[in-house]
Amino acid sequence: MKFTAKGLAARARIVEHAAELIYTHGVHGTSNELLRKASGVSGSQLTHYFPDKENLVLAVIEWQTEKILTLHTGSSFAGFDTIDALRKWAAFYVSYERACQEGCTLGSLAAEIVKADLDVHDRLAADFDRWKDVLRAGLDRMRDSGRLRLDADPARLANLLLAAMQGGMLLAQIERDVTPLRDALTAAIDHVQSFEVAQAPPGPG
Amino acid sequence: MKFTAKGLAARARIVEHAAELIYTHGVHGTSNELLRKASGVSGSQLTHYFPDKENLVLAVIEWQTEKILTLHTGSSFAGFDTIDALRKWAAFYVSYERACQEGCTLGSLAAEIVKADLDVHDRLAADFDRWKDVLRAGLDRMRDSGRLRLDADPARLANLLLAAMQGGMLLAQIERDVTPLRDALTAAIDHVQSFEVAQAPPGPG
């Protein structure tokens, strides 16, 4: 579908408000009525841009993924190729003020609808793969540059990091306390660090 | 509320069918109509035992928690006080045939409704705490008996294990592949094992 510049702006405004409502109330708690009120668009405009909830949820998944990838590939975490960068990444999520209330912007959405009768599964799988690739690529570079030992498995460690983050976020939401997220990420990164090559290895004697 | 023996049996049948439907289709995908058909009870019986969805969801949370605690405190995982027991625990979930489709029976339910307007939050928090306590108590015993070094932090490691399991289950569902769950649990237990005290430590010379 082709939209005018004005149409694209209206569509973007709807997606942004839908993302915020879904993040706060969940997909099932976000009605068309709430979205019309928040975004200021009419019911017919809403239906024009998003004929059904599946279209809207797909657009929100895409929007949240782009935000995550922009953050992860920007300068904040220095390409994820040092242990320090991983610690900064963990600190970012641990200090994120909405972690205990609403959790991960993309993971909480995925967890809510993974069993729902919406055809968004392939999109979610592809987007989580892109996210995990950023972590895995950083670990690959750490190993290739000799910072991590050759027995470090970047794919496995990336799965540990992302699972610890997603599971930690869920437990933090349930407990309304950030400790499980902090503990899980700290321990997961400690594990990555255990593969670090010592900077000044002892000589053979 | 007091029920007769027959009433208790009817209630239990409803909860068991509700648990299965919710596990398969999610809370939002489980209608009263589906539940009446599956359990063979009438609408008025259903309303009698569970006046609203919140009561039903609370009963299902309790039912799933009891199943998890029975499994975890039984003989399957030997009190969680060896690394081998943790490996068996991981293998159980990795080989669980519904892991990639429906995920964790309790975690997937929690993740779906943690933002919903249902007053089940305290119940979920208490139940996850009981679950985590089983893991933490095993790690405590491993440390107290000298199997783990004193710098092992059982509370932190229990958070890592449960987060890796929950996050791994979510990623497995999204990817429809058990690899993220296997990777996350293997690496998390590797990390616990890194605190293991060597069985035959080298002498001082």
Residue B202: pLDDT band by 50, 70, 90 thresholds?
low
Query: Across the interface, do A29 and B174 touch by the CB < 8 Å criterion?
Result: no
H or E element in which residue B144 lies: helix B121-144
Query: B176 contacts in A (CB within 8 Å)?
Result: 121, 125
Of A163, A169, A173, the CB nearest to B184: A163
Structure confidence by residue, pLDDT tens digits, A98-111: 999 999 999 999 99
Helix axes A83-94, A179-193, angle to 10 degrees: 170
Q: Is the pLDDT of residue B189 over 60?
A: yes
Indicate if the alpha-carbon torsion angle A16, A22, A25, A27 is positive or negative: positive
CA angle B187, B69, B81 (to 5 degrees): 50
Q: Is the pLDDT of residue B201 over 60?
A: no
Structure confidence by residue, pLDDT tens digits, B36-94: 999 999 999 999 999 999 999 999 999 999 999 999 998 889 789 999 999 999 999 99
The pLDDT, as a whole number, for residue B198 is: 82
Average pLDDT taken over every residue of chain B: 94
Q: How far is B10 from chain A (nearest CA, A)?
A: 27
Domains of chain B: 1-51 (1.10.10), 58-193 (1.10.357.10)
The pLDDT, as a whole number, for residue B84 is: 95
Q: How far is B205 from chain A (nearest CA, A)?
A: 16
Query: Across the interface, do A115 and B26 touch by the CB < 8 Å criterion?
Result: yes
> B57 with B118: CB under 8 angstroms?
yes
Question: What phi and psi values does residue A20 have, to the nearest 5 degrees?
Answer: -65, -45
Between these two residues, B153 and B78, which has the higher pLDDT value? B153
Residue B203: pLDDT band by 50, 70, 90 thresholds?
low
Please list the alpha-helical segments (H only) found in chain A: 5-25, 32-39, 43-49, 53-73, 83-94, 99-102, 107-113, 121-144, 154-175, 179-193
The β-bridge partners of A148 are: A196
Indicate if the alpha-carbon torsion angle A56, A59, A65, A71 is positive or negative: negative
> B123 with B61: CB under 8 angstroms?
yes
Start-to-end CA distance of chain B, whole Å, equals: 71
Which contacts (CB < 8 Å, 24+ apart) does range B121-124 have?
B121/A174, B121/A176, B123/B58, B123/B61, B123/B62, B124/A174, B124/B61
Which pLDDT tens digits describe chain A residue by residue (205 residues)?
678 998 899 999 999 999 999 999 999 999 999 999 999 999 999 999 999 999 999 999 999 999 999 999 988 897 899 999 999 999 999 999 999 999 999 999 999 999 998 999 999 999 999 999 999 999 999 999 999 999 999 999 999 999 999 999 999 999 999 999 999 999 999 999 999 998 665 555 4
CA angle B191, B192, B197 (to 5 degrees): 115
d(CA A112, CA B27): 10
d(CA B109, CA A41): 34
How far apart, in Å, are the Cα atoms of A65 and each of A14, B72, B186?
Answer: 17, 36, 27
Measure the CA dihedral B158/B160/B166/B172, to 10°: -140
Structure confidence by residue, pLDDT tens digits, A144-160: 999 999 999 999 999 99
The pLDDT, as a whole number, for residue A201 is: 55
Whose structure tokens read 């000799």? A146
Q: How far is B128 from chain A (nearest CA, A)?
A: 8
* B127-143 mean pLDDT: 97
Query: B164 contacts in A (CB within 8 Å)?
Result: 160, 163-164, 167, 184, 188
Start-to-end CA distance of chain A, whole Å, equals: 71
Smallest CA-to-CA distance from A185 within A141, A140, A135 is with A135
Query: Across the interface, do A191 and B186 touch by the CB < 8 Å criterion?
Result: no
Q: How far is B134 from chain A (nearest CA, A)?
A: 15
Whose structure tokens read 């690959």? A140
The β-bridge partners of A196 are: A148
The pLDDT, as a whole number, for residue B1 is: 63
Write the DSSP symbol of residue A148. B
Helix axes A5-25, A32-39, angle to 10 degrees: 120
CB pairs under 8 A between A and B: 169
For residue B178, the one-letter residue type is V
Q: Which two tokens stand for residue B11?
A: 């209630």
How distant is the alpha carbon of residue A95 from its chain centre? 15
The pLDDT, as a whole number, for residue A200 is: 61
d(CA B93, CA B107): 13
Of B111, B163, B179, the CB nearest to A112: B111
Q: Which of B34, B148, B174, B190 to mutate to test the interface with A (most CBs of A within 10 A)?
A: B174
> A59 with A15: CB under 8 angstroms?
yes
Q: How far is B164 from chain A (nearest CA, A)?
A: 5
Query: Across the interface, do B170 and A191 touch by the CB < 8 Å criterion?
Result: no
Smallest CA-to-CA distance from A92 within A204, A181, A153 is with A181
The pLDDT, as a whole number, for residue A75 is: 87
